[in-house]
Amino acid sequence: MNTDTANIRRGTFGLKALGAVLVLGLSSLSAAADDTLPRRAQWDARFEGNGGAGIRIRELTDRSPLAKAGLKAGDIMIQVDGRAIVGAAAWDDLTDSLVAGKDYAIQYRRGAVVKAAKARFRAIPYEAYDGIEVSYDQITSDYGARQRVIITRPKGASGPLPAVFVLQGLSCSSIENIPGRNSNYMRVLTSLVTETGMVVMRVEKPGLGDSEGNCSETDFKAELNGYEVALAKLQRLAYVDPSRIIVYGNSMGSAIAPYFANKYSLKGVIADGTYYRTWFEHMLEIERRIQRMQGVEETVINDRINRAYIPLYHGMLIAKKSYADVVAEQPLLAEHNYHGGHHMYGRPMRFYHQMQDFDVAGNWASLKVPVRIRWGTNDWIMSEYDNDMIMEVLGAAGHTDAELHKFDGMDHWSTIHPTAAASFKGEAGTWDERIASQIVTWAQDLASK
């Protein structure tokens, strides 16, 4: 999970809704782009939830197409091209599918009056870095989705280079470094791109960035396949040394990283904020941790685990039902289901049904290549015990090149906090340059082994 996941957990519109997307600048001229995929566009506006249907315009930039079409701050957008805006998921899907060079029909309400307008939105600038060549390419998954891949490498480098293959977290968030995106996780990725001297490949999930599809309806198997097709492309690139590809996984991506290393004989693994046990075990543990951070008495927590969370997650993950079906069968569980009826953290039920059956532990136990694991001491999403268990299992299997670093004060989103509870409450944290430099050093070391 990344930052969007935490926002969804706290019951707010995610980053795309609250900040979507006020951007200023990178040049698109320095990026080589495969233009067969339509370029993602931006609203040039900020929005906020409306407490029901529609999305309220909070702020418009001077050059916003919405402003030029006659909309004002305070107006409530109701539909875009006939697609009703009802809830955060619908809004996020709409934002993800917005493309440049197309006329959109906007229906909005100002006071009691419903109005109509047309607008054409501006393309998001491509990434650009000094001394780095940026290529926007694509793959087609076995599920038929064309997905954007972003490949970076040092300009002027000669000979096949080592490479980093990036596996991102659970939620539906673009992995592109668009202007105005200042998360600490993006700082880590930017450091990989600009400081390692290596080729770096990132893959946009279906429906995100310029990729076709709909992330909120993409299942685990389809997402995994997109990564596999992209890795095969990376291995074939003339400027990449296929014997020196390492995988960097963050959050859920770190838990599937061993699978890729095992299956495709990669050089090494960096797992940042990982887990070992099944998703059913993970969700029960995180519910207990959340309840404790909320100050709930231990007796009450035990009761809720037994009476609510075990049947809720067993019904969804083990019996392979939707939350809607589980709650329909056991209506008293409704008050404890803060997820939607058919989605959790923006992903569909079948994503979790398939992920529950994925052999995370078995892939960790089979890992033979060097691995570097990092867990932040204020990470309330992933368990310290899972990370310790990985080291125990690797040691028992005779693995001789595994390291676990527990980064003091760091939470799940590469941010320093005084406590895990401070991170959970969304309090402002701080950045530590060592968070990025550690990953850069690990990548360089693993590629040189």
| pLDDT for res 3 | 32
Give 74-127 pLDDT, tens digit per residue: 999 999 999 999 988 889 889 989 999 999 999 999 999 999 999 999 999 999
Residue closest to 301 by CA, chosen among 316, 286, 315: 286
CB 68 within 8 A of CB 46: no
Percent over 90 (pLDDT), the chain: 85
Q: What is the reported pLDDT for 213?
A: 94
Query: Which pLDDT band holds residue 4 (cuts at 50, 70, 90)?
Result: very low
* Structure-model confidence comparison of residues 42 and 33, the more confident one: 42
Mean model confidence pLDDT for the chain? 91
Question: What is the model's pLDDT at position 32?
Answer: 60
What was the pLDDT predicted at 376?
A: 98
Task: Give 399-410 pLDDT, tens digit per residue.
Answer: 999 999 999 999
Specify whether the backbone of 68 is left (phi greater than 0), alpha (psi in -120 to 50) or beta.
alpha
SS (HEC) of the chain:
CCHHHHHHHCCCCCHHHHHCCCCCCCCCCCEEECCCCCCEEECCEEEEECCCECEEEEEECCCCHHHHCCCCCCCEEEEECCEECEHHHHHHHHHHHCECCCEEEEEEEECCEEEEEEEECEECCCCCECCEEEEEEEEECCCCCEEEEEEEEECCCCCCEEEEEEECCCCCCCCCCCCCCCCHHHHHHHHHHHHCCCEEEEECCCCCCCCCCCHHHCCHHHHHHHHHHHHHHHHHCCCEEEEEEEEEEECHHHHHHHHHHHHHCCCEEEEECCCCCCHHHHHHHHHHHHHHHCCCCHHHHHHHHHHHHHHHHHHHHHCCCCHHHHHHHCHHHHHHCCCCCCEECCEEHHHHHHHHHCCHHHHHHCCCCCEEEEEECCCCCCCHHHHHHHHHHHHHCCCCCEEEEEECCECCCCCECCCHHHHHCCCCCECCHHHHHHHHHHHHHHHHC
Question: d(Cα 178, Cα 371) in Å, to the nearest integer?
Answer: 30
Ordered by start, the domain boundaries in the chain are 3-123, 132-277+357-448
pLDDT in tens, 329-378: 999 999 999 998 999 999 999 999 999 999 999 999 999 999 999 999 99
pLDDT, tens digit, 9 for 90 and up, residues 258-304: 999 999 999 999 999 999 999 999 999 999 999 999 999 999 999 99
Cα separation, 19 vs 173, in Å, equals 13
Given a cut of 70, whether residue 18 has pLDDT beyond it is no
Structure confidence at residue 21 (pLDDT): 36
Which pLDDT does position 34 carry in this prediction? 57
Using one digit for the tens of pLDDT, what is the confidence trace for 411-438?
999 999 999 999 999 999 999 999 999 9
**Least confident segment among 3-17, 67-81, 221-235:** 3-17
Tell me the pLDDT tens digit for each residue of 181-211: 889 999 999 999 999 999 999 999 999 999 9
Classify 132-277+357-448 by CATH class. alpha beta
Q: Give pLDDT, residue 145.
A: 95
The span from the CA of 354 to the CA of 100, in Å, is 34
For residue 19, pLDDT over 80 is answered with no
Whether 29 has a pLDDT exceeding 50, the answer reads no
pLDDT value, residue 31: 60
Please state the rounded mean pLDDT for residues 21-49: 67
Give pLDDT, residue 10: 27
Domain 3-123: assigned CATH number: 2.30.42.10
